[in-house]
Structure 1
Amino acid sequence: MTKKTFGAAARLTTVAALSAAVLTALPPADSVAAEHRHGGAWRGAWATSVQQPAAPFGTNWSTDGFSDHTVRQVVRVTTGGTKARIELSNRYGTTPLKITGATVARTAEGGAVQAGSVRRLSFGGERSATVPAGGTALSDGVPFKVEALESLTVTLYLAGPTGPATFHHFAGATSYRAKGDHRSDTSGSAFTETSTSWYYLSGVEVSGGQAPRRNGVVTFGDSITDGVGGTNDADNRYPDELAERFAAAGKPRSVLNHGIGGNQVTNDWEWAGEKAVARFKKDVLTERGVGTVILLEGINDFGGSNPDFPGGGTPEVSVDKLIEGHRSLIRQAHAKGIKVIGATLTPVKGSIYDTPVIEAKRDAFNTWVRTSGAYDSVVDFDRAVADPSDPDRILPAFDSGDHLHPGDAGYKAMAEALDLDTL
């Protein structure tokens, strides 16, 4: 295969109270249709869900934050356009976040970017931005023609101490850090530190190009949506593979990944994000141009009570409580005119979740997904990756090795199980 290219939230106050920035509150999904009746509508090209600072599986940069650092982050967009802008989140910050400067460029190798492609970003016409604690900032749009499946590098320079950083833990991609201001460097030589998380960056949007429609897809869930178990920097998560299917059919579409490793539908978990029924409004219903959401989540609700997990276990969850949580997500989506595709939970035999109680719950919940009629449509990811000779186990060729998360081939099989016409 060729290398693929590309807690507390303060309310936004007045723009005048923000130093050198204009912060844009995202519109609700029901305003998107009106927005699309006019030219130049923005739509999501890449996204991730943010989390509070934590380091449950070893060190990362979120707990200490940054001071006189330049951070480079590589993302692959799923749809193209003629202008681009970025979204930055300080959702879990306790103090205002000062972005001294930011650029976007075409990705080269590692921390390098393509010569001549660096574009400086502005915020309300200013080069810097201050994002209040709990707030979100959108940069101004910059002329920048991008194609579907192209990789972009977003660079942030953070001159002052930021304190602990809002981030996304399991990026499945390498981020780069340098001391000092290197936002306009084309070489990656200064970027000697690496991480496999994303920091502050929560979205890339595009406008122009192909006439936008409300046909974007959000994939919502836990580590299996997040792509844990896939090859780092290969863009082989199942949402990535779905975006490739759209592009191969000549109809690129926004596919926005809002999975969080370890996330649960019904319980908050300090290291794994807010519970899905709470974060859905923030992560999904704020996305522009989305018409469909795929819900794949629940196995952590059943298995998260293990006291050996980071931070201790979470309260035990019944099948009925998980169903109640999914019904809440369905209602939230339908209230905004978004179609919901329900997904069965994939096999866990041989994994840390392999107990008779959890397997019985998984089977019962999957039966409900398949038969309840609660969703607009259903995708059977369980059967797509199961071993036909042992249906409670992931097919070895699809297994990442932990018997819980698919590997690259498994994620491709999941994407192929989706009916593009239904989407």
Structure 2
Amino acid sequence: MFTTVWTASPQLPSEGFTPNWSREGFWRQSLRQVVRLSGGGGRVRIRLSNAYGTSALRVAGASVMASGSPVSLTFGSEWSAEVPARGEVVSDAAHLAVSAGESVTVTLYFDAATGPATFHAQAFTSSWRGEGDLLACTGGEGFDAVSESWYFLSAVEVDAGRTDGIALFGDSLTDGFGSTVGADRRWSDVLAELTGRPVLNAGIGGNLLLNDSAWYGEKGVHRLRRDVLERPGVDTLVVLLGLNDIGFSETDEQPTYKPAPVVEADELIAGYRELIRQARGRGVKVIGCTLLPFGGSDHWGEHAAKVSHEVNEWIRCSGEYDAVVDLQRVMADPGDPDRLRAAYDFGDHLHPNDQGYAVMAEATALRLQGRL
């Protein structure tokens, strides 16, 4: 039985938050991506997503490496793969022993033009591109371009036989904005260390619960099935989503913050109920997190304050989640509960820093252990 130990939620090709290669795609190039696993096993397989491709994607070859030499991957016993438009493929399992907390390197070679690439905009770590077939390279020779996004790679799975995986579902607070780039200090990374369980990061920066966005992914109520519920080994969903639905309408005029309708608490509550319904339909437990304080940020305003208070009170008191982590109270400034504690603030009064993400993970781990 395979268990998912790393994920990245697919997004439509776009400019993203930092320069990336999603619009131009790849041709006669190799792509090297390094991901940190939250569980170990003796065999490894990968998932490649062409969710936003309008034509089939040809992958001429793939390899995976932990320590030592790269191990070639096959797809249905073939060295190459064709990923259907709007679809995905899963590689055959390769014999490679990996451990929780270990990083693995996945290299893909494209001998034909890929067209625009399904990707994940914010990786908070480096990916590399080089000319030609570099599948067998053990070091970085030949990889002369760098990006901070992930491309096509949507999951890594191992033969752990575990069914206690935790999926964090949210926006940039889950994706890891504000954490140290390249240091693996996202909320999900720390939670995996604290619990010893596989933890999947299904965050997308800017994501909305109720509306699709060209920049920030499909709405949460639509992407939950693909990004979480269809991943093997997940038994717990942790929801922290809705702050952008509330806050985008408060920001200055920016073309990326679209759509930005003014939403009410009852609309968000209906969205949360839909997530709960979908998860429980798959036998997955659901933990709700209160929205973090964001006073003083560009998402804050009179309406945002009202709706966030109403939503958080429903999350705390409705009894509709299996359990609740009150991150608003854990992360708030003692002197002003509408603001992030200064020690946890990345600097924009919206996103935590490494210390703040560690506190979020600690509170979640205590709730999972029934001690909070």
What TM-score does the superposition give when structure 2 sets the normalisation length? Answer: 0.96
Alignment partners' CA distance in 2, 1:230 and 1:360: 28
Work out whether residues 269 and 314 of structure 1, in 8 Å CA contact, stay in contact via their aligned partners in 2. Answer: no
CA deviation vs aligned residue, 1:360-392 (integer Å, no higher than 9, x gap): 111111011000001000001111211111111
Question: 1:269 matched to which residue of 2?
Answer: 213
Alignment partners' CA distance in 2, 1:389 and 1:315: 31
Work out whether residues 53 and 165 of structure 1, in 8 Å CA contact, stay in contact via their aligned partners in 2. Answer: yes
1:46 aligns with 2:24: no
Which amino acid is the alignment partner of residue 56 of structure 2?
P
SS in 2 for 1:192: strand
* Match 1:218 to one of 167, 173, 196: 167
Work out whether residues 26 and 113 of structure 2, in 8 Å CA contact, stay in contact via their aligned partners in 1. Answer: yes
* Match 2:36 to one of 69, 76, 85: 76
1:351 aligns with 2:297: yes
How many Å apart are 1:315 and its aligned residue?
Answer: 2.1
Question: 2:369 matched to which residue of 1?
Answer: 421
Question: 1:296 matched to which residue of 2?
Answer: 240
SS in 1 for 2:143: coil
SS in 2 for 1:360: helix
SS in 2 for 1:218: strand
- CA pair 360-304 structure 1, distance change in 2 beyond 3 A: same
* Match 2:231 to one of 277, 287, 308: 287
How many Å apart are 1:169 and its aligned residue?
Answer: 0.6
Alignment of 1:85-124 (within 5 A): 85-106=45-66, 114=67, 116-124=68-76
SS in 2 for 1:369: helix
How many Å apart are 1:160 and its aligned residue?
Answer: 1.0
Question: 2:339 matched to which residue of 1?
Answer: 393
Which amino acid is the alignment partner of residue 96 of structure 2?
F
* Match 1:66 to one of 17, 26, 45: 26
Which amino acid is the alignment partner of residue 161 of structure 1?
A
Which amino acid is the alignment partner of residue 58 of structure 2?
K
Alignment partners' CA distance in 2, 1:261 and 1:130: 29
Alignment partners' CA distance in 2, 1:282 and 1:128: 24
CA deviation vs aligned residue, 1:166-194 (integer Å, no higher than 9, x gap): 00011111101111111111120211111
Question: 1:38 matched to which residue of 2?
Answer: none
Work out whether residues 79 and 253 of structure 1, in 8 Å CA contact, stay in contact via their aligned partners in 2. Answer: yes
- Unpaired segments of 5 or more residues in structure 2? none
| RMSD, aligned α-carbons | 1.3
Alignment partners' CA distance in 1, 2:330 and 2:184: 20
Between 84-93 and 281-290, report the one with greater CA deviation: 281-290
Work out whether residues 270 and 311 of structure 1, in 8 Å CA contact, stay in contact via their aligned partners in 2. Answer: no
Question: 2:121 matched to which residue of 1?
Answer: 169
1:406 aligns with 2:355: no
CA deviation vs aligned residue, 1:210-265 (integer Å, no higher than 9, x gap): xx34211100011101001101111111111000102xxxxx32101100000011
How many Å apart are 1:155 and its aligned residue?
Answer: 0.4
How many Å apart are 1:58 and its aligned residue?
Answer: 4.6
1:260 aligns with 2:215: no
* Match 1:128 to one of 80, 89, 99: 80
Tell me which stretches of 4 or more aligned residues in structure 1 moved more than 6 Å: none
Which amino acid is the alignment partner of residue 243 of structure 2?
I
Alignment partners' CA distance in 2, 1:187 and 1:80: 23
SS in 2 for 1:185: coil
SS in 1 for 2:135: coil
Question: 1:12 matched to which residue of 2?
Answer: none
